[in-house]
Structures are given as C-alpha cells and as structure tokens.
A and B are shown apart, each in its own frame.
Chain A
C-alpha cells in the first residue's frame, strides 16, 4: 500500500496483541455466504507511472480553444496567491471545526467569508456555503416553503436550466413548481414576463411561497428584479435572487431591491472550472429568516476567559441534532471553496472586483460589435453585463465548425432550452477580463462562411421571438 506505515513486524505485533493468527479473523462477522471473492481492478501503479497516466489524460482535454463559453461557469484571472494558500495542509486536510479550540483558522475564515458575502449581497445572514449554485437555489426555494408554510414556488424560465432541473428534483417530495415564461418579443424580449408573474401570483387557490429570478439571467439579460420583488411581496411570497457574485461589484445587490434570499454560484470567485466542481453554493438571507436557513453558520463569541473567538452556531437547525426535523440533510459545506472565494475577494479588493466586472462588460461590448459585423447580431435588445445571445442560423452546425477552427463559440441554446423556439438559432456567448482582442478576432474571423452566416449583416439587434 503506497501510503501505509506498517511493516510486517508492526502487523505481527498487533496480531500478537490481539491473540490472532491472521487479520482474516477480524472479518468473521461477515457471513460466509456474503464474503466478497476479490476485486477485479488493475494492479497498483507506482507514482511515476500514475503521474504519466494522469498527465496524458489531462492532455486529451483541449486547452487551445478561444473560449466564449460561460453559462454559469466563468473563466477569470485567479491570482496565484489563492491556490498557494489553499495548498496549505492546515486548510485542506482539516475537517469540520467540531473542536473549535483547534479550528479557529477554519472558523474565522468562514466568518470572514460570511461577512464578505454579506457585503456583496447586502443580506445579513450567509451560510457557510452549499454544494453549488443549483443546490443553493433549491435550498432557497425550500426555505421559502418552510417560512411561509406554502407549497408552491415560481421560477423564471430565465434561470439556468440546470438549476431548474435541480429544483424539480428537490421538489419531487411533494412541493409544486411553476415556471414563469419569458417575454416573446419587443424591447424586453428574453426577460421574465412580469405580467405573467402577476397572473401566476393571482391564483388564490394556490398561494405562492417564493419567486425565483436570476440577475443577470441565464441569457445574460438584466431582469426587472425590483418589479418582481414588489409583486412577490404583495402576494405574501418571498423573493429569491439568483446572483453571480462578480457582477455584484457593479450591479444593484439583492438587498437594494428587497430580496429576501440570494443564492448563486461562487465559482467566479477564484475557483477553476474543473469540469463542473467542486464549486461554491452561495446562500444568504435577511435576519428575519435566520432560523430557516440550512447549512452551517459560524458566529463570533468569546472563550471562557473572554477572548474573542469563533464557533459554529444555531446548530439546532442541523441534521446531526434535529435529525428528521432538520432544516436540510446537508452535513458538510464547501469550506475550502469558501476559503478560495475569500482569498480571491481580499486579493482583488473592492476596486479590483469592480474592475473585473467592468472590464468583462467592456470586452463583451467589443465582442458584440465584432460578432455583429461578422454576421451574428444579438438576439435581444435588453441590457446585459458580459454575456448575451447572438443569432447564428444553424447554430449547432456553426458551433461545431467553429470548434474545428479553434473557437469554442459559447453554448448552443437549443441543446439546453429545446422548448424555446425563439432561441433555436441562439448561441450564448460571454466575455470576461481574460478575453483578449485576439480571441475576439479569431471568433469573428471564423464566422463568415459558416453555414447560414451572412457576413456584414445588420449589427442592430433583431427583435426575434423568444
């Protein structure tokens, strides 16, 4: 065994102490008929060979592409200090701070994470983190049901499709989920249909616990958050904002429009894409909902001598104490990813974070102009920050041809939202501060000549139905 300490003499000494001849005797409780024969697995691999195998696998992934793919996971510049802090064994080889006297590092770092996210969202209570943005959104929706004792949640179709799928799974235990449609055309095309929201809220027989919108939306558009919050509150429902944390440096925070809960994906805060995880589920709420929020919370307190210190608190909500009446079954949090987000935020600071968001917006405007000139204009007219939809006839084929030319041309919307005919020709593309002018040129230069793309098409947005 590569990491084991025991010499044959050590094992012999232990067996002798136990008065047994073979370790097999320790497994006598396994019924004979149920004992496993053997494991059909490859032989152990020495570190050198294993490292070669792993590097070869990693090399099979393409890292040469000019990527404009976001859709919930974003490339950013992560200062190397973030990963170097994370590589300290005192962080990553510790566990849940059950013994606070020897866990003040982790506890203080979580308290600081909670405080940093409270600053970003404007909400006072931030959980120590959840699995990812989708799971945090599902937990937020469940919170609204517990808090209002109602069973129906409305979620906008402009919330990430995978988040909506996750909501459906979590609501499989008997709660109701309805989707709010999008505006089909005109200036507000692609945004959540506020009139439809009003109608859905008006069904007296089916009172609504919570309303869920994303800002920016999955399609990159800025949503009427203030209007939606007002309508939700008028109907006695809570409002959940699904947020992207970097955008909060420049966009109105959830507290500003009166959201009760914010959920979101913390990956953009210094966490690599890693083919989907581990990520960081952000969950925040107002003080009024503190007893409803699931997951760990760390608070400031004192030790018995009055020294300031940090501890997990309000634990009566949690599964190990409350068991079947707990607020959630969640046990762990994503402490190491919360640490990454904290180091990232402290490394870039308030001005740096604003620069990241604003530079992404500037690069995105450059991308919009370049693509429009190359024959792929925006599909919608509403305001966006750094992600938007372009119309490319035959989007799926075009996307494949772009890949052959070294460009990852965003996301084919038909693949993820097949029930929205208005998005059939849509590619969801994004830019961030790491997007270069050269990459934008590669994308734009690759477009003419692709199936269905007319070079030099009118750059003005087309009010296509969504």
Chain B
C-alpha cells in the first residue's frame, strides 16, 4: 500500500551521457534545411538529455514508485472523488480509430467519434436535467468560466448592463471567485449559515439589480446538501440573476437530484471526478457544461449535431451567432470523454444510482465511526453526502497536534491524506471523501488509523510532528522554494544540490 519507492532518483539531465540514445527516427538528407534562411535557424541545439531506452524506462518506473495513487492505495482526497479508474476505458481511448482521429478531419471521416460525443451530450443532459450540453471545456475551472461567460452574454443580450457582481458562498472552491474575476465580475463572498448551508437570508439581502449570478456548489464543499436550495433559486431568479451550479460534487446526487429540473440555469460536470476519468497526476480532465433553455443559445461552439439522416456533424463556423465562441481549440478533450462515455455505458441508470448510494453510505459510515470515537470534531450533526468534514481543532487544543500533522502521519499508515485546511470555513479541516469503490475493510482500517493517530497524539506527539517517517522524503522546505525559486535544471544544479540517493 502507498508508496513503494524508497530511493529518490537523479534527474534525466544527470542520467544523460553524450552519445546515448538513437535509432528512433531515420536521419534526414543533409540538405533538408538548406532552404531555410540562416537567420531563422537555431544556433545551438537544445541541451536535451541523451538516454538509451533501458535507462529511460528505469528512470520513469522508479520515479513512478515515489507516487501515491488510487492504484496503490486509499486516496480519500475530499472534493476530488478519487475513485477507481476502470482499465477498459484506457484501452478504449487508445483504439486507433479514436486516438488517431484528427480534430479537423471532415465529419464523414470521424462518424464514430461524433456519434459517441453526441450520445454523451444526451446522457449528460439527462443526468444534469439540462436542455443542452457542451463538451468543450477542458476542465472544471474552464467549465465555470464558460458558464459565467454565457451568463454575461445572456444579460448583455437583454441590454441588462447593470449586473456586475457574482455572489459566492465563503465555502466555495477558489476557482469560483477566480472565475468571476476572469469574466470581469466583482465577487461578493457570502458567509455560511451555522448549519453549514448557504445562508439564504444573507444571500437574499445581497441579491439585487447588480447581481449577475450566484455560484453554488451543491452538495456544498462541506459535503452537505443545500436544504433550502429551492428558496434560494427562487430568490435568485426573482432578482433577475441566474444560478450556476458547481458540479464538483455530482457523485453524491446521480439520479437523486437534477440541477436543471430544480431550477439551476447552468452547471459543469467534472468527468475526472464523477465519471472516473483518471486524474493523471493533476490533469487532464474535462468539464462539460449543461444549460437550461435560457442559456442554450450561448453555448460554446462547436457542438455535435445529429442530422435527420442519422449522421453526425460539428456545428460550422458562425452557424450559431449567439455562441460565446470557443474556450480552447477543437471540440474538447475527446480522449477523456471516450473514457467517461465508457464509464456511463458500463453503469447505466441503475449503476449510476448505486454509485451515488454507495458513495454516500460509505461517507456516512466513516463519519459515524469518527463521531462515535470522539477524538476528532465532526461538525454539522446531520447526514452528509459523499464526503464530510472532520476537524482536529479539539485535538490541537489538547495535544498540539494539528491537521497537517495528522495528515502526514496517515502517510505512515499507508493512506493518502484527505484534503486539508479546506473548506476555509472550518478550523483545522479535513475533508474526507471515501468514494464508492473502497471496501468496508479499507474504510474500517482508515478509521482505525485516524483513531490511532489521535491516541498517539496524546502519548507521543513528537512522532506525529515529525511524520511522515516512511516516505521517500520528510516534510519539505517550502519557504526556501518560494524565496529562491529553482524552476529549471541548469548545468550547475547537480553540483549545488546533488541527488541524495
């Protein structure tokens, strides 16, 4: 479990020896570049490393073993939905017909991909309860920007130019306020209610003719369903604003709540969370966006369209003049979307409902185990959804051991730490999301580890302060990294800071 590699690795540059590595491509004729003007040519070749393939493979295999991953252990990173990534989906995305399809190929040459994308649009519309879907956004954050730009275009189309604010609860992901700024809006942060939900009264007071949109994560980043969401949506619409749902936590509500039917105007879906496309060490993802009737004309272009004869095509340039345009090149992260499609077809309606039920059950069970023990604070005495917040605030007061320390000590127990110090509204927060693909044995073992760490905090706090003890490195000097940034390898780097192993 956890990280199997013990030794740090020299860099590619340290492994390089001049003259190694060849045989990948034929040599060009000597005069291949003679028709290029000399002043356009490069003087010195780039100082790329030279490795033979066996060295290269060992480098990356050994490096990989320094990583914790879903395939190596339990990864309860809250709000990230680190569920199992099915292997069939990796196979599917690599089928040459999908992988080698050029994004500017004529529609008739890529009917298979277009059919898959069109079906995916339909499936996501059904799940989100929305009218129409764009698959273009490359990630959740880009989906957010897409949504807010559409809202902007909607107000502009009505000549409503007074709306300059976006309301965001203080528990929101940082991408929400950053997105509002990128779209040219001012963010107004609204404090949460004592029960962890959005404060509908505070929102209502802040809503007005200047409000363009509210952005709500539902279930919230605290893992709680917004009980007063209906009232809130009514107030938003009464004020002439539109409602954006951050779909980061869609895994908790598949088949149980449809944002569009409930009255949200737009939402994004993180395929890398809910629909199991791999997180890739930080990406790629995909952030499709669903919208209701009001925003459908503004969706990014191109969408995939089905013709009356059953063939599929991309929208043509300028075909839908109300579109906000494009957020990136081409149709979207198709390779990711193939995996999401495979996941959705593997599960079907009943499987997706079961995903949600098991994810929510697992989270409540884990929450119950910790509540029952009492070593950690578990704020908000109500059922959680697919994740919950625990806090080491009490533990810290009693023993001096903080959430950061608990997180690092979990590594020694073979677990990836949960998301920590988020949401910002809970002191010493640990956001724990077990997902539906972890067994009861794993959930019990994780609860036991957290409880054991709390006991250890009383008996031997120093061990925890100095954790992790089993990882390839100890805690890092992040201050020096920021003060004197070393962001690239240079010839002298290896002499100044040699690889320790």
Contact = CB atoms under 8 A, between A and B. Distances in A.
Given A57-B113, A114-B487, A278-B138, A162 B329 contact: yes
Interface string A285-324: 0000010000011111111110111010111101111111
B293 to A, nearest CB: 18
A318 B91 CA distance: 34
A91 B280 contact: yes
A97 B440 contact: no
A205 interface: no
B5 A44 contact: no
A272 B100 contact: yes
A252 B36 CA distance: 11
B439 A309 contact: no
A17 B284 CA distance: 38
Contact of B41 (A75, A128, A252): A252
Nearest to B103: A276
B282 A95 contact: yes
Interface stretch (A66-74, A206-214, A233-241, A443-451): A66-74
Interface stretch (B51-59, B236-244, B390-398): B51-59
A411 B255 CA distance: 43
A390 B43 CA distance: 30
A1 B355 contact: yes
A274 B106 CA distance: 14
B287 to A, nearest CB: 10
Contacts of B116: 57
Contact of B56 (A36, A302, A346, A415): A346
B24 A51 contact: no
B478 interface: yes
Contacts of A4: 354-355, 358, 436-437
A29 B383 contact: yes
B269 to A, nearest CB: 14
A275 B110 contact: yes
Interface string A228-262: 00000000000000000000111111001000000
Contacts of B309: none
Interface in B14-62: 20-22, 24-29, 32-33, 35-37, 39-43, 45-51, 53, 56-57, 59-61
- The residue in A27, A125, A322 that gathers the most chain B C-beta atoms within 10 A of its C-beta is A27
Contacts of A2: 86, 346-347, 351
Interface in A28-76: 28-31, 33-36, 38-45, 47, 50-51, 53-63, 65, 67, 69, 71-73, 75
B145 A346 contact: no
Contacts of B326: 134, 162, 165-166, 169
A54 to B, nearest CB: 4
Q: Interface size bucket, A side?
A: 35 or more
A105 B60 CA distance: 8
Contacts of A132: 138, 328-330
Nearest to A80: B53
B97 A348 contact: no
Contacts of B123: 41
Interface stretch (A195-203, A331-339, A455-463): A331-339
Max chain A Cβ within 10 angstroms of own Cβ: one of B109, B316, B383, B499: B109
A361 B32 contact: yes
B428 to A, nearest CB: 16
B142 interface: yes
Interface stretch (B77-85, B199-207, B453-461): B77-85
A13 interface: yes
A119 interface: yes
A305 to B, nearest CB: 5
A108 B11 contact: yes
B471 interface: yes
A391 interface: no
Nearest to B482: A313
Contacts of A114: 487-488
A56 B119 CA distance: 15
A329 B175 contact: yes
Interface string B468-500: 100111111110111001111100010001111
Given A329-B182, A333-B283, A336-B281, A301 B486 contact: yes
A15 B66 CA distance: 37
B8 A63 contact: no
A277 B184 CA distance: 28
B127 A39 contact: yes
A347 B93 CA distance: 23
B334 interface: yes
Nearest to A284: B488
Nearest to A298: B487
Contacts of A350: 45-48, 50
Interface in B219-263: 224-227, 229-230, 253-258, 261-262
Contacts of B32: 358-359, 361-362, 365
B98 A307 contact: no
A301 B229 contact: no
B132 interface: no
A343 B36 CA distance: 29
B22 A352 contact: yes
B157 interface: no
Contact of B178 (A168, A299, A326): A326
A29 B91 CA distance: 39
A253 B153 CA distance: 39
A71 B360 CA distance: 46
A192 interface: no
B461 to A, nearest CB: 17
Chain B CB within 10 A, most for which of A111, A309, A400: A309
A297 B49 contact: no
Contacts of A165: 325-326
Contact of B142 (A5, A45, A47, A131): A131
A53 B336 CA distance: 17
Contact of B68 (A102, A112, A300, A356): A102
Interface string A72-115: 11010101010111011111111111111111111011111011
A18 interface: yes
B100 A273 contact: yes
Given A60-B97, A302-B477, A348-B24, A27 B35 contact: no
Contact of B489 (A69, A115, A359): A115
B481 A273 contact: no
A204 interface: no
Contact of B224 (A29, A38, A313): A29
A104 B51 contact: no
Contacts of A305: 474
Interface string A9-20: 011011101100
Given A58-B98, A278-B284, A301 B109 contact: no
A172 B149 contact: yes
A53 B345 contact: yes
Given A14-B364, A47-B346, 17 more contacts: A17-B368, A18-B365, A29-B225, A67-B102, A73-B103, A81-B53, A88-B64, A89-B71, A93-B279, A96-B80, A101-B411, A112-B12, A274-B101, A277-B328, A332-B284, A337-B284, A361-B36
15 contacts: A1-B347, A1-B358, A39-B254, A43-B349, A54-B342, A92-B90, A112-B11, A131-B284, A249-B42, A275-B105, A336-B283, A337-B280, A346-B12, A353-B46, A362-B29
Closest 9 CB pairs of A and B: A276-B330, A89-B71, A58-B97, A173-B184, A60-B112, A336-B280, A278-B284, A276-B103, A335-B282
